[in-house]
Amino acid sequence: MQYTSTRDNSIRVSASQAIAQGISEEGGLFVPCSLPSFPLDKIASMAEMDYINRAKTVLKEFLTDFSDEELDYCVCGAYAKEKFSSEKIAPIVNVNNNENILELWHGPTCAFKDMALQLLPYLMTVSAKKTANGKTIVILVATSGDTGKAALEGFKDVENTKILVFYPVDGVSPMQKLQMTTQEGENVAVCAIQGNFDDAQSAVKAIFTNENIKSELAKKNMMFSSANSINWGRLVPQIVYYFSAYCDLIEQKRINCGDKINVVVPTGNFGNILAAYYAKRMGLPIKKLICASNSNNVLTDFINSGEYNKNREFFTTTSPSMDILISSNLERLLYHMSGEDSSLINELMNSLSEQGKYAVSKDLKDKIKAEFCGGFADENGVFATIKEQFERFDYLCDTHTAVAVKVYEDYVKQSGDDIPTVIDSTASPYKFSKSVLSAISDDINIVSDEFKTVDELNSKTGAEVPKPLKALKDKEVRFKDVCSKENMSEMVFKLLNI
Ligand SMILES: *Cc1c(COP(=O)(O)O)cnc(C)c1O
């Protein structure tokens, strides 16, 4: 399988080149030139497999320049049972009627980013051996909270790699911050920036394509790559769990193979929902892709109106991993849906960087609306949903998942479409203990100590506290640097000692 760029569709690279490089030279994103197809009998046969074998079956079609041995090494290493708190890796839980929650947070950092970032370092090191001639790969990450930690954990002490993470100083939860600043490993560094996630992401993208910085790195035999969801190696592992969830619904006899389902995804950078779109294009019977946003509802407006406009108030919400106004992976969707029109993509992305907005044709808008539905939940909706899910169904969900549940409920009310549905749950409630606790109880004195809050949430709900979060209590804070967004490139040199 070959990959091309959303901004220059004459480019052809292999999977390992796309993964090692991260982003195409002219700034476009790598996308597959064609998609494999999974007929129903193939899907039915996957129902009998465990997660590792389902993953191999899907990934094999995309990573065609990996040998069977290499793929085996990568997948078995990433999804080793002892790293996940569920044997199923990504279990699906029926909450009520046709509402099924896909728990994607049983990995080492308790957020869905682990599903991809446990695998990416393996894919990256195998890819680098094939394409990067022994260079040290420098992973540069902008994070809204969860990617940073999951990438640090995935890349820590991985040979021939270094990883630098930038997070918005006031834009992550206390638990997320602690997870990052206490990170262990010899090849890791973490720095806060004065700005929001979009500032961090834009600065990281600019550093990636800065010729001066790249040549300084090359002198030290280093090259940049990306662990953000602009890297194809982040997206492809996410396609797997949509097939896996469908197979589990067959196994649980909630559907027959071939029945259609809806999928609801709490969305920020549009990576997770794009993976569901790819799964649908490959033949997974998905009816609607429901894109759930928080108050930063730029995608809801885009899906409904065809105009993408980031010139709006930015809200810092209780679902910080979705506090994003520039959804990078939307570029990939526009590329596919416009009939692979890379000149249109250049036009739209220029307009986005110069004017902060663009509009698509009615035809393209209608095509998108046929596949997607967009909705959003404000903060009151999130809190009420957490409380209701807990009181009615004894199911405790985090703030991001609550956004999805609320948007799903609104969708069913408006459309009457209540076919079996998979709702992605993207984080453990204990990553956002304070918000979750204040949603379910009326009379608490919220204490400032994060671990007391965790204990209180645990005693009120009985929900198990994930071990990796408990363990943070006794860890030493290693990283205290804060820099301005203008000084990020200097910080990169400092952290790399060059
Ligand atoms: C990253 C993240 C999201 C958003 O996922 P995208 O792929 O960026 O759309 C949602 N919830 C949580 C908890 C996350 O960490």
pLDDT at 449: 87
- Helix, strand, coil tally for the chain in percent (to 5): 50, 15, 35
SS (H, E, C) 458-498: HHHHCCCCCHHHHHHHHCCCCCCCEEEHHHHHHHHHHHHCC
pLDDT at 21: 87
Residues with CB under 6 A from ligand 1: 111-113, 146, 229, 266-272, 321-322, 400, 426-427
- Interatomic CA distance for residues 263 and 114, integer angstroms: 20
The predicted model scores a pTM of 0.94
Ligand 1 pocket: which of 267, 300, 424 to mutate (most atoms within 8 A of CB) = 267
Instruction: Give the position, in ligand 1's atom list, of the atom nearest the Cα of 269.
Output: 8
pLDDT at 201: 84
Ligand 1 pocket: which of 322, 386, 407, 435 to mutate (most atoms within 8 A of CB) = 322
**DSSP symbols for 272-339:** HHHHHHHHHHTT--EEEEEEEE-S--HHHHHHHHSEEE--S-----S-GGG--S--TTHHHHHHHHTT
Q: What is the pLDDT of residues 318-336, one digit of tens each?
A: 999 999 999 999 999 999 9
Provide the token pair at 279: 């799964």
Q: What is the pLDDT of residues 204-231, one digit of tens each?
A: 888 988 899 999 999 999 999 889 888 9
Q: Whose CA is nearest to atom 1 of ligand 1?
A: 321
pLDDT at 446: 66
Give the whole-number percent of the chain exceeding pLDDT 90.
Answer: 85
Contact 112, 268 (CB under 8 A): no
Q: Whose CA is nearest to atom 2 of ligand 1?
A: 321
- Interatomic CA distance for residues 216 and 142, integer angstroms: 21
pLDDT at 25: 87
**402 CA to centre of ligand 1 in angstroms:** 13
What is the DSSP pairing of strand 421-425 with strand 482-484? Answer: unpaired
Whose CA is closest to 135, among 123, 124, 148, 144? 124
pLDDT at 443: 66
Q: Whose CA is nearest to atom 8 of ligand 1?
A: 269
Ligand 1 pocket: which of 321, 406, 430 to mutate (most atoms within 8 A of CB) = 321
| pLDDT bracket for residue 311 (50, 70, 90) | very high
Provide the token pair at 221: 């035999």
Q: Average the pLDDT over 129-149 and give the result.
A: 88
**238 CA to centre of ligand 1 in angstroms:** 12
Please list the residues that pair with 4 across neighbouring strands.
Answer: 31
* 470 exposure class (CB count in 10 Å sphere: 0-12, 13-18, 19+): middle
**218 CA to centre of ligand 1 in angstroms:** 33
Alpha-carbon torsion angle 55, 92, 422, 470, nearest 10: -90
